[in-house]
Amino acid sequence: MCLTACLAASGLLLLSTAAAPAAAAEEKAPGRQLADQATKQRHFWNTVDHSKLKALQQVFTSGDQITRACLSCHTKADQQLKKTFHWTWTDPNSPPNDRKGKAQYSVNNFCLSSNAMHDHHCSECHIGWAGKGKAAAIDCLRCHGQKKFNFEEAFGDYEAFSTSSDPDDKEMAKEAQAEIQEAAQAVGRPTRRNCGSCHFSGGGGDGVKHGDLDSSMTTPHKSLDVHMGIDGQNFQCVRCHTTINHNVAGRFYATPAAKNRKSLIENDLSPKIMCESCHSAKPHKAGSKMNDHTDKVACQTCHIPTVARVLPVQMWWDWSQAGKMKNGKPYEVKGPYDRPTYVSTKGDTRWAKNVRPEYYWYSGSLSGPTLKDSIDPTKIIRLAWPVGNRGNHNARIFPFHVHRGKQPYDIERSKLLAPLLSGEHGYWTTFNWQDAIARGQKYLDLPFSGKYGFVKTEYVFPSTHMVAPKDQALACSECHTRPHSRLANLTGFYMPGRDRIKAVDTGGWLLVLGCLAAVLLHGFGRFIFKKNGGKK
Amino acid sequence: MDAAKMKRIYLYSRFERIWHWLQAFLIISLIVTGLEIHGAYTLFGYEDAVEIHNFMGLTWGVLFVFIVFWVLTTGEWRQYVPTTKKLFAVMWYYSFGIFMGKPHPVQKSPGAKHNPLQRLTYLGLVTTMLPVQMAAGLLYYTYNQWPQWGLDRFLTLGGVAVVHTVLAFLLIAFLIIHVYMTTTGHTIFAHIRSMITGWEEVFETTEVYDWETTGKKKARS
């Protein structure tokens, strides 16, 4: 009796401990609470009305003048900025004889190379004035200008009208100058539009590159990005890409965004760039199995179920097909999502929406060959590939958008090539690979054997934006399943639901079926013999 | 069988019956959810299957401690002392005798609830299979604590999973045979009924202690 009571009591105890988290379900998960605290202060304030500053009320006839006006107060800004990756396009942590970066020997499978910034189309995204690369003055307004404004055009107009003697033109000139001043005075912290003016259209168009960054992120809804959603937290990029001395936190090439995963409670001066910074390493409710995953699975893996959820992303770019003509003229073929499937200047392209990422171990660093490194053209060349493995305690399983394609390489030297693309001698004008490659290589001081072919390449982008609302996070069964587990490609460890030892399962089921057959046969035997009067 | 020659004895106490059926429920739900976690089918959904499996497994662990305690303190452990006496007779009975309508060579009695074959099977279950299965389950459950405990140097999740899976299949096999064997009494449901009511019908010839009769039972309770 007593034992029965004890058993019942222990059962109740177990039931009640299981029911406790359910009762607290209305409470916020600790990771959410922390993040709410870390981002409570939503309204920035400042003490300067830039339109009142004399320096910004002068006549501007060029971008350089505006920059000088900025620097007349922000005297150290240019020294700070010129040391940053945004200006140098060079990974300072890469080996000096094989520098990485767009201004260096890095190569991708989009527009391939900036030819040491001699390709002006490519340099349009450099934050100097007028795509003139590092020779120009810094264009402060690219990142800080709060007004969408075409300065080059306005300077042209002003120059044309102000030199005229016609009073109407003088009036026009005055208006143009007023607009220039107004735009120059409208400055502030970088917004999503500022950052997006380059980062949303990397690779030469909207959504070509990243998968998790395109113009839909300028004013995203919460369903596209819980942090940046205008109907939610409305974060700007710099909310997480915290900035010190103009150095914006973030990964570039092999240099990780942060060295360790620390929450702001552990280190309040660390950048907010990791999810852990605000959400901690155990963000889910106490006792949740999800907290047991965070040592091996990145937050992004479950919380970014797909990328390119609003606008399509480019999946494939085959340069080997470029150069076809119709009636002697370059042409374009439109495909799904109003995106081209063929452009004479670029070749075949493929696009997709709601793309399921691929998953790899990732320690925060990407690796790949530069234009100086030898390649094996019989294999698919991984131009940017996640570094990390299961044994690395800093590595996590992480989602990636993978862009694949074919691009030119030097058959004799077994190295990738950097053709010049834009400009009057670029491939897009001449459709002459031989010449464009020779010119492009020359800008980089690299040789070219004269023989080129096309090689398959892959380029990964870590998917870290477009974090979905929590109810859209992946279910366990997206990975703990077979044969279509999202992690089917990751081997070397046992994952329940995905893995099994075939011999054990086969043997096990044979045993079970054997037992079933045996008892059925036995029972049938009893039935038959009884019928035959097999009584004692 | 002639009902007139039968009499009823109180064979299974209340606690015994409760733990038997609770254990049956736990094992079956563990098998059902375990196979889902193993990827055999989708029923509850992976997340819920894991939750249920963990809860049932831990509950069983607690119950098992009570069972073992009860078996040891009541002296019922004697029921599990293995013997070869009549072992072959029992095996012969289930292989041939049962078809010929021969009587079971070992009659159930309060002092010997299990025939020699059952003794061996249950002893193996209770001393080896179930503890190992529970240990494997607990290790599985505490996988994230392994590095803290230094266990990650000796164990892999795959190894623990294999042990857990092999034993699971053996338990399913046991369950099939066990359920079938309950139908081999003098009527199909005789054994099941006794495990529900506690009262087993045995031949009059069986020696019965007087506390096991109806009257005594009533007096006791």
Q: Which helix (H) or strand (E) holds A455?
A: strand A452-462
Q: Is A470 on the interface with B (CB under 8 A)?
A: no
**In the predicted model, is pLDDT for residue A267 greater than 90?**
no
ipTM of the complex: 0.88
State whether A529 and B103 contact (CB < 8 Å). no
To test the contact with chain A by mutation, choose from B144, B174, B187 the residue with the greatest count of A C-beta atoms within 10 A, namely B144
Give pLDDT, residue B209: 55
Residue A10: closest CA among B50, B65, B68, B49: B65
* Sign of the C-alpha dihedral computed for residues A209, A210, A211 and A215 taken in this order: negative
Q: Which helix (H) or strand (E) holds A306?
A: none
Extended strands (E) in B13-79:
none
Task: Report how far residue A459's alpha carbon sits from residue A478's, in angstroms, rounded to the nearest whole number.
Answer: 24
Give pLDDT, residue A259: 80
A359: which DSSP letter?
Answer: E
Q: Is B210 on the interface with A (CB under 8 A)?
A: no
Strand B199-203 to A347-352 pairing: unpaired
Range of the domain at B197: 3-220
Q: Which two tokens stand for residue A234?
A: 């409305």
Q: What is the mean predicted confidence (pLDDT) over A2-26?
A: 48
- A364-373, A429-438, B75-84: lowest mean pLDDT where? B75-84
State whether B162 and A530 contact (CB < 8 Å). no
Q: Which residues of B touch A529 (CB under 8 A)?
A: 99-101
pLDDT 10s digits, A46-80: 899 999 999 999 999 999 999 999 999 999 999 99
Q: Is A515 on the interface with B (CB under 8 A)?
A: yes
Q: What percent helix, strand, coil does chain B show, rounded to 5?
A: 70, 5, 25
Q: What angle do CA A176, A179, A185 make, to 5 degrees?
A: 145
Task: Report how far residue A418's alpha carbon sits from residue A426's, in angstroms, rounded to the nearest whole number.
Answer: 11
Number of C-beta neighbours around residue A131 at 10 A = 18
CB of A240 closer than 8 Å to CB of A233:
no
Q: Which residues of B touch A536 (CB under 8 A)?
A: 101-103
Select from B45, B98, B144 the Cβ nearest to the Cβ of A526. Answer: B98
Q: How far is B62 from chain A (nearest CA, A)?
A: 8
Q: Which two tokens stand for residue A278?
A: 């605000």
Q: Which helix (H) or strand (E) holds A471?
A: none
Q: How far is A434 from chain B (nearest CA, A)?
A: 55
Q: Which two tokens stand for residue A45?
A: 């304030």
Q: Which residues of B touch A481 (CB under 8 A)?
A: 39, 46
Task: Please list the residues that pair with A316 across neighbouring strands.
Answer: A350, A404
Percentage above 90 pLDDT, chain A: 78
State whether B100 and A534 contact (CB < 8 Å). yes
Q: How confident is the model at residue A249 (pLDDT cuts 50, 70, 90)?
A: very high
Instruction: Collapse the DSSP code of B154 into the 3-class scheme (helix H, G, I; strand E, B; otherwise coil) and give the result.
Output: coil
A161 or A9, which is more confident:
A161
CB of A467 closer than 8 Å to CB of A307:
no
Q: Which residues of A touch B100 (CB under 8 A)?
A: 529, 534
Count Cβ atoms within 10 A of the Cβ of residue A405 and give its class: 0-12 exposed, 13-18 middle, 19 or more buried. buried
Q: How far is B128 from chain A (nearest CA, A)?
A: 18
Strand A415-416 to A396-410 pairing: antiparallel
Give pLDDT, residue B210: 56
Phi and psi at B91, nearest 5°, equal -60, -40
Comparing alpha-carbon positions, the chain B residue that sits nearest to A509 is: B169
Sequence length of chain A is: 536
Q: What is the mean predicted confidence (pLDDT) over A383-411?
A: 96
Q: What is the CA radius of gyration of chain B?
A: 20
Strand A313-318 to A396-410 pairing: parallel
Q: What is the pLDDT along chain B (221 residues), one digit of tens a residue?
A: 444 477 788 888 888 899 899 999 999 999 999 999 999 999 999 999 999 999 999 999 999 999 999 889 988 888 888 877 788 888 888 888 888 878 887 777 776 778 888 888 889 998 999 999 999 999 999 999 999 999 999 999 999 999 999 999 999 999 999 999 998 887 888 888 888 888 887 776 655 555 555 444 443 43
Bond from prior residue into A483 cis (ω within 30 degrees of 0): yes
Number of C-beta neighbours around residue A160 at 10 A = 13
Percentage above 70 pLDDT, chain A: 93
Q: How confident is the model at residue A16 (pLDDT cuts 50, 70, 90)?
A: very low
pLDDT 10s digits, A235-244: 999 999 999 9
Q: How confident is the model at residue A534 (pLDDT cuts 50, 70, 90)?
A: very low
Q: What is the CA radius of gyration of chain A?
A: 30
Task: Report how far residue B73's alpha carbon sits from residue B80's, in angstroms, rounded to the nearest whole number.
Answer: 14
Q: Is A504 on the interface with B (CB under 8 A)?
A: yes
State whether A497 and B38 contact (CB < 8 Å). yes
Q: What is the mean predicted confidence (pLDDT) over A383-399?
A: 95
Give pLDDT, residue A7: 47
Number of C-beta neighbours around residue A241 at 10 A = 16
Count of domains for chain B: 1
Task: Report how far residue A515's alpha carbon sits from residue B173's, in angstroms, rounded to the nearest whole number.
Answer: 6
Q: Which residues of A touch B98 (CB under 8 A)?
A: 526
Task: Please list the residues that pair with A385 across neighbouring strands.
Answer: A367
Q: Is B48 on the interface with A (CB under 8 A)?
A: no
Give pLDDT, residue B211: 52
Q: Is B23 on the interface with A (CB under 8 A)?
A: no
Q: How far is A470 from chain B (nearest CA, A)?
A: 16
Instruction: Collapse the DSSP code of A294 into the 3-class scheme (helix H, G, I; strand E, B; otherwise coil) and give the result.
Output: coil
Query: Residue B92 maps to which CATH number?
Result: 1.20.950.20
Q: Is A4 on the interface with B (CB under 8 A)?
A: yes
pTM of the model: 0.88
Distant-in-sequence, close-in-space partners of A167: CB < 8 Å, separation ≥ 6 = none
B186 or A325, which is more confident:
A325
